[in-house]
Amino acid sequence: MKEKHSNHKSGFSIRYKLILGIGVPLVLVLAAIGTVLRGQVVSAVDGLKRVEIESQTNTASEQINAFFQPLLVGAAQVADIDAVYDLIAESNANPTGRMAESVLLQKAVTELSEAQSNQSDALLSICVAGTKAQQLVVSDGTVMENFDVESRGWYQLAKQAGGEPALSAAYVDAVTGKLVVTVGVGMYQNGEIIGAVAFDISLDGLSKELSSIVIGEEGYVTVYDRDGYILYHPNSDLIMTHIDAVGYNTEMYNVISADATSTTIPYERSGNEYYGAVNYMEDIHWNVLGCMTADEFMQEVTSITTIVVMSFVFCAILLLVITIILSLAIVRPLKVLDGVASQLAEGNLDVNVNVKSKDEVGHLAASISALVERLRTYIVYINEIASLLHEMGNGNLCLTFQNSFDGDFRKIKDEMENTVALLNDSLSAIHTAAEQVDAGSSQVADGAQSLSQGATEQASSTEELAATVMEINDNVHRAGEYAADARNKTDEAGRMMLECNDQMNSLVSAMDEISKTSEEIGKIIKTIEDIAFQTNILALNAAVEAARAGAAGKGFAVVADEVRNLAAKSAEAAKNTTELIENSVRAVSNGAKLADSTASQMSAAAEHVQTVTEMVNQIAKASEYQSASIQQVSVGLDQISAVVQNNSATAEESAAASEELSSQAAVMKDLVGKFSLSNQMSYDLSRSGGQSSYSAGGYSHFSADSDKY
């Protein structure tokens, strides 16, 4: 018991099971919830950051469009002013003339000045140039001669645009030192370009507007012109730096270089990590990049992750503490009950259950306490039962119980009382039966002696009869063996006749096959004769044709003659072969008739042999049946002899057993007399009809002292 209890303590305790079964799963569930929550929050924050970057990038693009749209429209409108158009058309018609001397110049300059005044301060000047006169007119009235307009980039772009405004790449103005772009619009006459209008635009105002755009806390936008140069960047040192020198990684470089629009993507620049989105402005061929550092992009994610982790750790610790407290509240009373159970397992019933609780553990403690009281009562019952059993072992059957047994022990009390009563009755009956057995055993011994003498005489006669039957059985058995041998030889002769008959049938079949084959050969010979006849006719025809050919056909005549001789020999050979085959067919026919006759006679002989075989089989079966019958008679006699001898031996044994039974009956009477029965028995032995009876009164009870043991 102690070893079993020790092994129980070596396993996990209930406290650890509660912690592992409740606390750990709750911590895991909390971790899963925290992970999912963090993922959702991170996804939401990531989406907001991306939306902010892309939104600010679009805002910068809208500001750029708002900045250039009036200028693009104004350039197109200037190209349609009549005075300006007429001035350029006149210079194109008279390339050698001077615009400064044209009467149209003043009006054109006035229109240009007025158009410039209607635009923003970003417009530095308006210029108009003709393609053939190579002269340029500025809105302030300046006329530049020997101006090769076709060498200007903005003109080439305007020419390619086909009448639509085109924005040139940025450049630094040599006079003002400002970053400038030019909007060019072509002027056409009869489908041919005759000149162009140019708006020189300063980007200072646009740069101020873009500087107000801040993405997050430190994010910004970068603007690239159509040739890949930076037009705006918070770091002025990077203005007019080409994209090849900025240090983008391959992915971002490919997006900007390909003039493509992209959503927010991570990238690197000069070893630093960023998140950025690109917006390509198709009208002016500019790229706007809105970006944010990776640290700022992930700042909220890091903060949220820290908060989630700290919350998870706090909740996990709180859950574990609560689980430990609950486990202690459950385990402490269980430990007390475990100690009580250990004492009970060692046989100590002097224990107290000191557990005060109103839950299931308290109910268990109350049940264990009641169990201890019940065990103490059972010990009293067991002592009394042991005392009564001791008295029964000493032969005293006058017993009674002092305590009122409860529960299952009540059944034990009832059964023991029934057992005592049954033993009293049984021993009384055994006493009476012993007297009757003693009287009857003498009579049985006398009858058994007479039976033994008669059985001995019967055994002698039965042995003589059995010897006679065995001799008859040997003779019949030998006759059966002779019949069986004759049957075997007859069967062998029958099988040989059947085999000969089968071979004869095969011979007849072969003769029929030879006859059929001879007929087929006759048909072939007929075919050979037909071939010989046709060959002879062909040879005659060939000879006739050779005779007609004269000297040229002599050789052919010789061949025809040989063919005719060959045909004659073939016909002769076919005739001889036909005669031989006809002789063979006649011989085969005679042989087939003889074979059929022989086969019929052998079949008849086989049937007679089969009949003889069946008759011999009947004789053999009759002999076997007689032998079996005689064998059964012999076995029956042996059984009778054995029974008679057994009866004789049994009779002798019965006589001896009767004498022994008489002595054992006396011993039984002495043994029964040693028991103290309930009261004095009165026996009335009645010999009428060979029946015996007895009557017994009630019995008095013996009081056993339960404290004796």
Q: Which two tokens stand for residue 360?
A: 């299931």
Q: How far apart are CA 310 and CA 329, in angstroms?
A: 29
Mean pLDDT of 386-414: 71
Rounded-to-integer distance, Cα 613 and Cα 597, Å: 25
Confidence of residue 414 (pLDDT cuts 50, 70, 90): confident
Torsion, Cα 50 53 59 64, to 10 degrees, reads: -130
Confirm if 354 and 673 have CB atoms less than 8 A apart: no
- Separation between Cα atoms, residue 388 and residue 703, nearest integer Å: 9
Q: Which range, of 120-124, 263-267, 690-694, averages the lowest pLDDT?
A: 690-694
In the chain the domains, ranked by start, together with CATH numbers, are 2-46+303-345 (no CATH), 80-199 (3.30.450.20), 410-672 (1.10.287.950)
CA torsion sign for 37, 42, 47, 52 is positive
CA distance 585 to 394: 122
Per-residue pLDDT for 695 more than 60? no
Percent of the chain with pLDDT strictly greater than 90 = 26
Question: What average pLDDT does this structure show over 44-54?
Answer: 88
Task: Kindly report which listed range (17-31, 54-68, 117-131) carries the lowest average pLDDT score.
Answer: 17-31
Q: How confident is residue 507, by pLDDT bands cut at 50, 70 and 90?
A: confident
DSSP-based three-state secondary structure for 569: helix
Most distant CA pair in the chain: distance in Å? 185
pLDDT confidence band for 708 (50 / 70 / 90): very low
Question: What's the pLDDT score for residue 688?
Answer: 40
Which of 235, 216, 222 is CA-nearest to residue 298?
216
Cα radius of gyration rounded to whole Å, the chain: 70
pLDDT greater at residue 662 or residue 419: 419
Task: Of 102-106, 212-216, 661-665, give the lowest mean pLDDT range.
Answer: 661-665
Residue 108 has pLDDT above 60, yes or no: yes
- Per-residue pLDDT of 607-645, as tens digits, reads 777 777 777 777 777 777 777 777 777 777 777 777 777
The CA distance from 652 to 646, in Å, is: 10
The reported pLDDT for the residue numbered 69 is 93
**How confident is the model over 169-223, as pLDDT tens digits?**
999 988 888 999 999 999 999 889 999 999 999 999 999 999 999 998 889 999 9
DSSP string across 183-251: EEEEEEETTEEEEEEEEEEESHHHHHHHHT--BTTTBEEEEE-TTSBEEE-SSGGGTT-BGGGTTB-HH
List the strands of the sheet with 262-269, edge to edge: 230-232, 220-224, 286-293, 272-281, 262-269
* DSSP H or E segment with residue 123: strand 123-130
- Which three-class secondary structure state does DSSP give residue 602? helix
User: How far is it, in rounded angstroms, from Cα 59 to Cα 67?
Assistant: 12
> In the chain, what percentage of residues exceed pLDDT 70?
81
- pTM higher than the cut 0.75: no
Residue 705 binned pLDDT confidence (cut-offs 50, 70, 90): very low
Helix (H, G, I), strand (E, B) or coil at 588: helix
pLDDT score recorded for residue 691: 44
Least confident of 114-128, 327-341, 501-515, 546-560: 327-341
Query: What are the structure tokens assigned to 131, written together?
Result: 């393609």
Which amino acid, one-letter code, is at 426?
A: S
- What per-residue confidence (pLDDT) applies to 682? 39
Query: Mean pLDDT in the chain?
Result: 78
- Three-class SS state of 472: helix
- Residue 67's pLDDT is 94
Give the residues across from 123 on adjacent strands.
Answer: 201
CB 50 within 8 A of CB 216: no
pLDDT at 698 over 60: no
Checking if the pLDDT of 242 tops 90, the result is: yes
d(CA 569, CA 563): 10
Q: What is the pLDDT of residue 254?
A: 93
Mean pLDDT of 137-153: 90
